[in-house]
Chain A
Amino acid sequence: MSKEHIRELVVLSGKGGTGKTSVTASFALLAKKAVLADCDVDAADLHLLLTPMVEQRHAFMSGHEAVIRQQDCTGCGICMDSCRFDAIRREDISYRIDPVACEGCGVCYRLCPVKAIDFPDRVCGEWMVSGTRCGPMVHAQLGVAAENSGKLVTTVREQAWAVAVDKRIPLIISDGPPGIGCPVIASLSGVSLAVVITEPTVSGLHDLQRLLALARYFSVPTAVCVNKWDINPQQTERIEAAAEAAGAAILGRIRYDRSVTQAQLQQKAVVELEAAAGDDIRVVWKQVTELL
């Protein structure tokens, strides 16, 4: 199957907690055939609903870290004096680098007069290819305190594409990262459609506008869906108006429903239960398929 025939859908939210992952899982169930990609690598949750069986694990390497070989250190302190990130402290007669604070810039490694500092590649997390009841899934987990540049997101997407081509699956559904920074950009560029799940709050509107501006920047078609819309119907209308003004399609609304949490507790997607919100999601999904 050639790449031209594959569609990629990313589900984004601007801020976290709008129900993005829950909706993505439901989309995965409703789609006939899809590869799932969990691009929310900092706080990956999709696997909690799709219960993947891991088939492959790979270390994710990004950048470097500096490590002092204590036995070769002469205690001159040049490393500490030159570190702009406060990552080096004195320890007994030598020095130690805090791996969490180390920026991986390589300055101390270059300046050490006795070459007592190593500069290995840094393991920042891992990515996995797994099987689920909805199809193959590529997911990852960023290491604690790791840099979140978007590189791991790019890796997850690339691997999802490879699986889609290999298994001849014409759709990739991606659970996107929150925010509007580098990880979101990495998940957005070149997709067929960005679906934004938002909530009817003051911050929901504010963050939606920033996200829509970002999608426009990358010429990605967008569609908006307000979740828990009945919490604040007035704000819902404001959000839909703002979305339309920004050129986004309106997909419909999902109501506030405790079944969403019930589904999580049962490790299922909302559409696998008898739930009003599930019916709302089915309507939204139909709209999505028409746009794709």
Chain B
Amino acid sequence: MAASSRNRSYRIAVASGKGGTGKTTVALNLAAMFGEPLQLADCDVEEPNVNLFLRCDQVEATEVTMLVPEVDQQCCNGCGACGELCQFRGIVAIGTRALVFPELCHGCGGCALVCPTGAITERPHRIGTISAGQSGAIRLIEGRLEVGVSLVPPVIRAVRDGLMDGIPAILDAPPGTSCPVVATLRESDYLLLVTDPTPFGLHDLKLAVALARELNLACGVVVNRAGEDLVGLYGYCRSENLPVLLSLPDDRQIAEITSRGDLVARVLPEYGLMFAELAEKLKQELGTTGGTP
């Protein structure tokens, strides 16, 4: 996907195969040292915690809705076609009525299409909230899933839709490689994978790389807590043609500063420099490769 389109600036997703590698820490510090106005999207809608580190002004919140069925029981003839089609038990035909369970609905529209009497209409149902605010040069967009809702990707799609044209964006993905992560990575131009040199880190990095290949996404690696044996990890990255764009030492100070809700790049100048260099390298990766591997 070309990063040079006139309307859209580039999007860098930050993900990791497992949780706790420091993905959000990297996304935040990278954003802080990016050197130009940018957007930071918190796509971990089940547990958004980017906001814990940034003080935001002018916060605006909007609802995220999904179309769910509404049944006019007078018109319902109890044929059961809706319940038969529904794969998710969002609508269930019982006796001469159709019961709707909005929290299970995936919004496919199938029930409304197959209803022979036109008894089903679709109406917006709240599944989450998008909040947007400004923190210095960073515009933070956060998605938050409504408690009780099972379907995550539509809220993440809404976060992506909330990104403005013309300003680069960093997207903080949820951990893992299942469908919420895929929803975050769609339409991204580059994937920054955060790992650590433990066997857990390497194992889960491979899962994340498999996903990146599946989605045809160019990627690079950030190694966090790089204090131990790095041969295995670096060997793997070389064999997969993955550039290691930043290596953060296993420095207890990083853990301490982050645990307080501060950004290490803003507190310690040597880290500020590292993240500024990471930003430069990423811009180079996007300039030369255009985002395709």
Residues of A within 8 A of B (CB): 14-18, 21, 42-43, 45, 48, 63-64, 82, 84-85, 100, 103-107, 110-111, 142, 144-149, 178-182, 199-204, 206-207, 210, 228, 231-232, 235, 256, 258, 261-262, 264-265, 267
Question: For the complex, what is the distance from the CA of A144 to the CA of B18, rounded to whole Å?
Answer: 13
Q: B52, B85, B106, B178: which contacts A110 (Cβ < 8 A)?
A: B85
When distances are taken between beta carbons in the complex, the residues of chain B under 8 Å from A204 are 259
Question: For the complex, what is the distance from the CA of A104 to the CA of B85, rounded to whole Å?
Answer: 11
Interface size, B (range): 35 or more
B114 near A110 (CB under 8 angstroms)? yes
When distances are taken between beta carbons in the complex, the residues of chain B under 8 Å from A181 are 46, 150, 152
**Nearest Cβ distance between residue B124 and chain A, in whole angstroms?**
14
22 A-B pairs with CB atoms under 8 Å apart are A15-B19, A16-B19, A16-B21, A16-B175, A17-B19, A63-B87, A84-B108, A100-B182, A110-B110, A110-B114, A144-B210, A145-B214, A147-B178, A148-B180, A182-B150, A203-B47, A203-B52, A235-B260, A258-B250, A264-B199, A264-B200, A267-B199
Answer whether A106 and B110 are a contact pair too, CB < 8 Å, given A16-B18, A202-B259: yes
When distances are taken between beta carbons in the complex, the residues of chain B under 8 Å from A110 are 85, 110, 113-114
Interface class of chain B by DSSP: loop
B198 near A265 (CB under 8 angstroms)? yes
B19 near A103 (CB under 8 angstroms)? no
A43 near B199 (CB under 8 angstroms)? no
Q: B19, B46, B87, B225: which contacts A43 (Cβ < 8 A)?
A: B19
Tell me if B256 counts as interface (CB < 8 A to partner A).
yes
Question: For the complex, what is the distance from the CA of A267 to the CA of B199, rounded to whole Å?
Answer: 8
As a 0/1 sequence over residues 247 to 268 of chain B, the CB contacts with chain A under 8 angstroms (1 = contact) are 0001010011011110000000
When distances are taken between beta carbons in the complex, the residues of chain B under 8 Å from A16 are 18-21, 175
B199 near A178 (CB under 8 angstroms)? no
B179 near A148 (CB under 8 angstroms)? yes
B window 12-34: CB within 8 A of A: 17-22, 24
Tell me if B75 counts as interface (CB < 8 A to partner A).
no
Tell me if B177 counts as interface (CB < 8 A to partner A).
yes
Q: Which residue of A lies closest to B197 (CB)?
A: A261
B200 near A84 (CB under 8 angstroms)? no
A106 near B182 (CB under 8 angstroms)? no
Known interface pairs A111-B113, A145-B177, A202-B52; 7 further A-B residue pairs with C-beta atoms within 8 A, sorted by A's residue number? A42-B176, A106-B108, A107-B109, A144-B211, A145-B178, A207-B47, A231-B255
When distances are taken between beta carbons in the complex, the residues of chain B under 8 Å from A145 are 177-179, 181-182, 211, 214
Give the 7 A-B CB pairs with smallest separation, nearest first. Answer: A17-B20, A16-B19, A105-B108, A201-B259, A42-B176, A16-B20, A148-B178
When distances are taken between beta carbons in the complex, the residues of chain B under 8 Å from A206 are 49, 52
Q: B46, B109, B179, B260: which contacts A180 (Cβ < 8 A)?
A: B46
**Nearest Cβ distance between residue A69 and chain B, in whole angstroms?**
20
Residues of B within 8 A of A (CB): 17-22, 24, 46-47, 49, 52-53, 85, 87-88, 106-110, 113-114, 150, 152, 175-182, 198-200, 203-204, 207, 210-211, 214-215, 225, 227-229, 250, 252, 255-256, 258-261
B49 near A45 (CB under 8 angstroms)? no
When distances are taken between beta carbons in the complex, the residues of chain B under 8 Å from A228 are 255
B200 near A146 (CB under 8 angstroms)? no
Question: For the complex, what is the distance from the CA of A207 to the CA of B48, rounded to whole Å?
Answer: 10
Answer whether A179 and B178 are a contact pair too, CB < 8 Å, given A17-B18, A105-B108, A264-B199: no
A43 near B17 (CB under 8 angstroms)? yes
A265 near B229 (CB under 8 angstroms)? yes
When distances are taken between beta carbons in the complex, the residues of chain B under 8 Å from A231 are 252, 255-256, 259
When distances are taken between beta carbons in the complex, the residues of chain B under 8 Å from A235 are 259-260
When distances are taken between beta carbons in the complex, the residues of chain B under 8 Å from A48 are 199-200, 203
A43 near B18 (CB under 8 angstroms)? yes
**Nearest Cβ distance between residue B83 and chain A, in whole angstroms?**
12
When distances are taken between beta carbons in the complex, the residues of chain B under 8 Å from A148 are 176, 178-180
Q: B47, B53, B88, B225: which contacts A179 (Cβ < 8 A)?
A: B47
Q: B200, B250, B258: which contacts A45 (Cβ < 8 A)?
A: B200
When distances are taken between beta carbons in the complex, the residues of chain A under 8 Å from B211 are 144-145
Question: For the complex, what is the distance from the CA of A110 to the CA of B114, rounded to whole Å?
Answer: 9
**Nearest Cβ distance between residue B140 and chain A, in whole angstroms?**
15
Answer whether A202 and B261 are a contact pair too, CB < 8 Å, given A84-B109, A100-B182, A181-B152: yes
A17 near B228 (CB under 8 angstroms)? no
Question: For the complex, what is the distance from the CA of A144 to the CA of B19, rounded to whole Å?
Answer: 16
When distances are taken between beta carbons in the complex, the residues of chain B under 8 Å from A106 are 85, 87, 108, 110
Q: Which residue of A lies closest to B258 (CB)?
A: A201
B175 near A144 (CB under 8 angstroms)? no
B256 near A265 (CB under 8 angstroms)? no
> Which among A16, A45, A84, A182 has the greatest number of chain B C-beta atoms within 10 A?
A16
> Which among A42, A63, A107, A146 has the greatest number of chain B C-beta atoms within 10 A?
A42
A107 near B256 (CB under 8 angstroms)? no
When distances are taken between beta carbons in the complex, the residues of chain A under 8 Å from B182 are 100, 145
